[in-house]
């Protein structure tokens, strides 16, 4: 799929972009990987990391800048969009900035991709976009809608847009794992609510799922991996078994349980062995042929009245399994 192709990763100096680049350079044969981000310091560090790979290039730019995107997308075949303002408290405190990046930036990418003839664009989303209660989730829901409906703007051009939605990434920047690792020295770990559950996915799993979704996509889908849940108390016990748990209350904009597919979406979803797919609206005539494809026929329609939520998941991690994953990540 990537052989002799030029890939561009927005927000490419983040956790996902770093690991995605490592895997693609090692296991695939792309013509070029372009890291597009606005942080020159992170780019210089990443450039040293990939100094032996001349096909990894770096461009300074911001997805808010449509002109820069047009220039960056020239000659690109595939775009992986991972740039976003992601910290819930920061988005709550700086709502206009979150909208400029997460929503207006998505519009810029859609316009530039269509006009520059990009073949595939896959956007990374979050469980917080499903039934959102904070601004970050709301902006990502808007972004998801924009990318899915972006297929309606393509006309006779070849560009196709899809979305990948998954949960919290183990040890990524802003994750609770590095925080707990640091605070365990003080023998006290802050817990918002003992009932809280979360989906969990490793960075490698997330990267591979994006690669798999790129190979599956026809345009207009939201791909959701089947991933385990964990209790926040089990995470605390795994990292700091001798620590006291201090209950501090749920923060504004935070849920007790995360949802990857809410009930109203679940009835239209298809279930496969290791993932779900939310197909685009049947208002798109090109969907009618696609849902009859061998890919969709290999799955099954989901049950009406259900949902995919972290508190009712079939797969759970215990404290020992969590610790094994964290040690493997480190």
- Judge whether 302 lies within some domain: yes
Specify the CATH number for the domain of residue 132.
3.40.50.720
Give CA–CA dist 124/326, Å, rounded.
Answer: 23
For position 185, what pLDDT does the model report?
86
- Judge whether 236 lies within some domain: no
Question: Taking the CB of residue 74, how many other CB atoms lie within 10 A of it?
Answer: 11
Q: Residue 167: CB partners within 8 Å, gap ≥ 6?
A: 126, 127, 198, 199, 200, 201, 227, 258, 260, 310
For position 97, what pLDDT does the model report?
98
DSSP symbol at 87: -
pLDDT in tens, the chain (330 residues): 899 999 999 999 999 999 999 999 999 989 999 999 999 999 999 999 999 999 999 999 999 999 999 999 999 999 999 999 998 889 999 999 999 999 999 999 999 999 999 999 999 999 999 999 999 999 999 999 999 999 999 988 999 999 999 988 886 666 788 888 888 888 999 988 999 999 999 999 999 999 999 999 999 999 999 999 999 999 998 888 889 999 988 887 888 999 999 999 999 999 999 999 999 876 655 554 665 677 888 889 998 889 999 999 999 998 888 888 876 554
- Strand pairing report for 275-278 and 222-225: antiparallel
Report the predicted TM-score, pTM, of the whole model to 2 decimal places. Answer: 0.92
Q: Which residues pair with 270 in a beta bridge?
A: 277, 301
Q: Residue 203: CB partners within 8 Å, gap ≥ 6?
A: 15, 16, 19, 169, 170, 171, 172, 329
For position 272, what pLDDT does the model report?
95
- Judge whether 278 lies within some domain: yes
- Judge whether 235 lies within some domain: no
**Tokens describing residue 188:** 């006290």
**Tokens describing residue 118:** 């990009």
For position 62, what pLDDT does the model report?
98
DSSP symbol at 81: E
Q: How many residues does the chain have?
A: 330
For 305, how many CA atoms within 13 A lie in the half-sphere containing its CB?
A: 0
Give catalytic residue positions. 128
For position 330, what pLDDT does the model report?
43
Question: Taking the CB of residue 329, how many other CB atoms lie within 10 A of it?
Answer: 15
- Judge whether 300 lies within some domain: yes
- Judge whether 251 lies within some domain: no
Q: Residue 278: CB partners within 8 Å, gap ≥ 6?
A: 221, 222, 224, 261, 265, 268, 269
- Judge whether 294 lies within some domain: yes
Residue where the block lists tokens 């976009």: 129
Total structural domains within the chain: 1
Give CA–CA dist 328/326, Å, rounded.
Answer: 5
The whole domain housing 298 covers 6-169+201-226+260-308
Give CA–CA dist 238/20, Å, rounded.
Answer: 28
- Torsion angle in degrees (nearest 10) through CA of 50, 124, 87, 140: 150
For position 290, what pLDDT does the model report?
62
Q: Residue 145: CB partners within 8 Å, gap ≥ 6?
A: none
- Judge whether 186 lies within some domain: no
141 close to 183: Cβ distance less than 8 angstroms: no
């Amino acid at each position: 799929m990537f052989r002799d192709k030029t890939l561009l990763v927005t927000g490419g100096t983040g956790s996902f972009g770093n690991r995605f680049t490592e895997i693609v350079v090692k296991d695939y044969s792309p013509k070029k990987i372009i890291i597009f981000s606005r942080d020159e310091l992170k780019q210089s560090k990443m450039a040293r990391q990939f100094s032996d790979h001349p096909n990894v290039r770096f461009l300074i730019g911001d997805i808010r800048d449509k002109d820069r995107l047009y220039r960056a997308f020239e000659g690109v075949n595939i775009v992986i969009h991972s740039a976003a303002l992601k910290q819930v408290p920061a988005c709550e405190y700086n709502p206009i900035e979150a909208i400029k990046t997460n929503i207006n930036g998505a519009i810029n990418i859609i316009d530039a991709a269509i006009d520059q003839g990009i073949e595939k664009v896959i956007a990374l989303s979050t469980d917080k976009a499903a039934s959102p209660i904070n601004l970050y989730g709301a902006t990502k829901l808007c972004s998801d809608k924009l990318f899915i409906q972006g297929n309606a703007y393509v006309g006779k051009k070849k560009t196709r847009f899809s979305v990948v939605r998954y949960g919290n990434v183990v040890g990524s920047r802003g994750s609770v794992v590095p925080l707990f690792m640091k605070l365990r020295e003080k023998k006290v770990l802050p817990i918002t609510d003992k009932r809280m559950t979360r989906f969990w996915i490793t960075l490698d799993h997330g990267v591979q799922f994006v690669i798999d979704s790129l190979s599956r996509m026809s345009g207009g889908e939201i791909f959701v991996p089947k991933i385990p849940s964990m209790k926040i108390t089990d995470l605390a016990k795994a990292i700091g078994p001798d620590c006291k748990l201090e209950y501090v209350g749920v923060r504004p904009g935070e849920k007790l349980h995360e949802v990857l597919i809410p009930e109203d979406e679940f009835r239209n979803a298809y279930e496969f062995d290791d993932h779900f797919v939310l197909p685009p609206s049947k208002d798109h005539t090109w969907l009618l042929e696609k849902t009859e494809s061998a890919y969709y026929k290999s799955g099954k329609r989901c049950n009406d009245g259900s949902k995919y939520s972290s508190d009712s998941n079939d797969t759970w991690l215990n404290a020992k399994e969590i610790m094994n994953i964290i040690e493997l990540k480190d």
